[in-house]
Structure 1
Amino acid sequence: MKILDWYILKRYLVTFLFTLLILIPIAVAIDIAEKIDKFLREENLTLFEVVNDYYKNFIIYYANTFMPLALFIAVILFTSKLANNTEVVAINSSQISFTRFLYPYFIGATIVCVLALSMNHFFVPSSSKTRKAFEREYLKKKKYADKSIREFSLQLNDSTYMFLQTFNLKSNSGNYFSTEVYDGIQLKYQLTADNIRWNEKDSTFKLSTWKKRKIFKDRDSIFSGNSLDTTFAFTPKDFNYKNIMAQEMNSPELIEFIEISKKRGVKNLNVYLVELYKRTSLPIACYILTLIAVVLAHKKRRGGVGLNLALGISVMFIYVFFLKVAEVLGGVAGANALLNVWTPNIVFGGYAIYLYINARK
């Protein structure tokens, strides 16, 4: 049985890698055709930068994205070939149960799942940071240059709050800044400034035309000045609550960011929670998709590999559709992000178990 297990496992992994290597060049070719004009208009942009900073990380991102699709297609392809060559019939004739037949498939699914988990939680976010920086620099400069926030407030801890009227994320400067400390509902300390600028090199803020006020029981103490360099428990990245930021943080950083944001009173963090949860749910789907693919393809059909592939791709696109809908619904304020992200796996997991029970009979 070990020979058969190794034979199926080898076919599983080889076909998976082959399918992935077919899909990636297609994605790269489409992206090059789309962005070639933007690359050529940048006089200082070199071929090495395009390949090393953008397309190397582009391939890492899309290889990870295409893993479930490549896995599903690969299992259908080589299992259909086993069925057409009557190899599955020979295995059944040897009194090997369908459950035992699945054993090498699930070993392969485990290998791919572990690889996908490590990539999703650690490698892809780090890669995305470099790719997104390249996009902001050369592909989306105008859009990024206009990025600014207005009327922004942030709770730093149980008693401290900060306010900004405007802040430009490109120049790292803003106007009409204020931070306040309360004892219950009583104001105890206030620091205001007409202008604020972030110094990334020193990780400090420079305040211009500032005023500091300390409130006591019987008097107030007020100080003022033209310029003040100081630090706060926040940085400009805390002003930009966007999904793109979640994609650039590895999972420990993302978990820490979510916890800090909860303490600061940020109301809707579902976009970040969806990103965190799907990093685990997608790799786990390898088991579900493998089981569905084997059940659909293990019987010899009159239509051959083409019919099995058509059925499989239809199921796969339905799964992807439900996955995208679940992500959108999970990001809505008040929604249960964990339940929404895992709903496609729960539904298709039930479908996989139903197919398995019928196939085992």
Structure 2
Amino acid sequence: MKIIDWYILKRFLVTFLFTLLILIPIAIAIDVSEKIDNFLEHTNLGLDEILNDYYLNFIIYYTNTFMPLALFIAVILFTSKLSNNTEIIAITNAKVSFTRFLYPYFVGATIVTILSLVMNHYVVPNSTKIRKGFEKEYISNSKQKNELKYVSDFSLQLTDSTYIFIRNFNTANNVGYDFNSETYDGLELKSKLSADNIRFNVKDSVFTLTGWRKRLVYKDRDSIFSGNKIDTVFNFTPRDLIYKSAFAQEMPSDELVKFINISKKRGVKNLNAYLVELYKRTSLPIASYILTIIAVALAFRKRRGGTGVNLAVGVGIMFLYVFFMKIGEVLGSVAGVNSLSYVWIPNIMFGLVAIYLYFHARK
């Protein structure tokens, strides 16, 4: 059986890579047609920069995105070919069970899963950061560039007893207005620092307060100090003021987990967009096993209509999976819900389908 295992595994990986090599150039061609005008608008933008900063990272991102689809299509294609060539009949006549027949498929799915996990958790976030920076500089329109620029009426818990409030903040020039920092002992206010303007100095990570006033609250009296300008340090940066899922895509998983934990301590109310991104990085690679079982079960027996029917049914199932996955991501990002359960709902649903098809194929 080892010869057949190697034969199936080799066909598995070759067809998988071949499918990726078909999908990626199509994605690149569509993207080039959409963005060629943006590239030509910038006379200082060279071909090397476009290829290295954008399309290299574009390929990394979409290779990882297309992995489940490529895996699913690859398994259906070459398993249908095995069935049409009556090779599977010869294998079953040799008293090889369907479970044993799945062994090389699971080896291949494990290779793809491990590769996808490494890419999802570490490679793709770093790659996305470079690609997003390029898009922001050369492709995004002014509306998109200003989307994350302004923050208003923001509050943040820095420690168990310290809270900050900012009326307006411009993340482009790191300048804010109407700043307050309050320190409490239980429910009692102990001190309050206010400023008309606040500026973050990136070079030394120091905040400059202009038109500042500080109030110290004692049992029988208050002390008030004021001045024109003062430099101080706070346990946050302007990036902490913006909570967008786009930032989650640019963080490696260890950095993302650290960010989520710090944000929880600071009292940020809704971090579900970040949790969805974190959980998705594991759930999608694990789906390789589920999709492999479904694909093999569909293509295991010879059908009237051949590979075309299997491929049509398989692609339909794949797009249903993507549809439910996107719904789960949207619902999981809503405040107050269990993000983990919503992210894993597609895997649970199609896992049940895979179990049904597995037992059906065994017959």
> Shorter chain as normaliser: what TM range?
over 0.9
Secondary structure of the residue aligned to 2:301 is coil
User: Which sits farther off after the overlay, 63-72 or 38-47?
Assistant: 38-47
What secondary structure is seen at the aligned counterpart in 2 of 1:303?
coil
In the TM superposition, residue 12 of structure 1 has moved relative to its aligned partner by 0.4
The 1-side partners of 2:49 and 2:356 are apart by 50
User: How many angstroms apart in 1 are the aligned matches of 2:141 and 2:181?
Assistant: 32
User: What's the RMSD between the two structures over aligned residues?
Assistant: 1.0
Counterpart of 2:319 (choices 308, 317, 320) is: 317
SS of residue paired to 1:300: coil
Q: Provide the C-alpha distance between the structure 1 equivalents of 2:255 and 2:285, rounded to a whole number of angstroms.
A: 20
Task: Give TM-score, length-normalised by structure 1.
Answer: 0.98
Letter paired with 1:258: I
Q: Please name the residue that 2:164 is paired with.
A: 162
Structure 1 position 70 matched with structure 2 position 70? yes
Q: How many residues align?
A: 361
1:224 matched to which residue of 2? 226
Alignment partner of 1:175 out of 174, 177, 196: 177
Indicate conservation of the 8 Å contact 2:300/2:361, yes or no: no
Aligned-partner residue type, residue 288 of structure 1 = I
Aligned equivalents of 1:46 and 1:199: distance in 2?
32
Unaligned runs of at least 5 residues, structure 2: none
Give the distance between the partners of 2:225 and 2:21, measured in 1 at CA. 65
Unaligned runs of 5+ in 1: none
**Structure 2 equivalent of residue 136 of structure 1:** 136
Bigger shift: residues 320-329 or 133-142: 133-142
Does the 8 A contact of 2:325 with 2:346 survive in 1? yes
Give percent identity, aligned residues only: 68
Moved beyond 3 Å, runs of 4+: none
- Give deviations 1:271-301, integer Å, cap 9, x for gaps: 1111111100000000000000000001111
Q: Paired residue for 2:217, among 215, 218, 221?
A: 215
Q: Residue 141 of structure 1: CA displacement?
A: 5.0
Are the counterparts in 1 of residues 182 and 189 from structure 2 also a CA contact under 8 Å?
Answer: yes
Distance apart, 1:188 and its partner CA? 0.7
AA of the residue aligned to 1:207: L
Looking at structure 2, the residues matched to 56 and 221 of structure 1 have their Cα atoms a distance apart, in angstroms, of 59
Residue by residue over 1:155-205, the C-alpha shift from the partner in whole angstroms, topping out at 9 and shown as x without a partner, is: 112211001010011111111111110111211111111111111121111
1:289 is aligned to 2:291: yes
Matching residue's letter, 1:12:
F
Quote the Cα distance in structure 2 between the aligned partners of 1:32 and 1:201: 37
How far apart, CA to CA, are the structure 2 residues paired with 1:231 and 1:49?
Answer: 37
SS in 2 for 1:10: helix
- Aligned residue in 2 for 1:84: 84
SS in 2 for 1:260: helix
Secondary structure at the counterpart of residue 203 of structure 2: coil
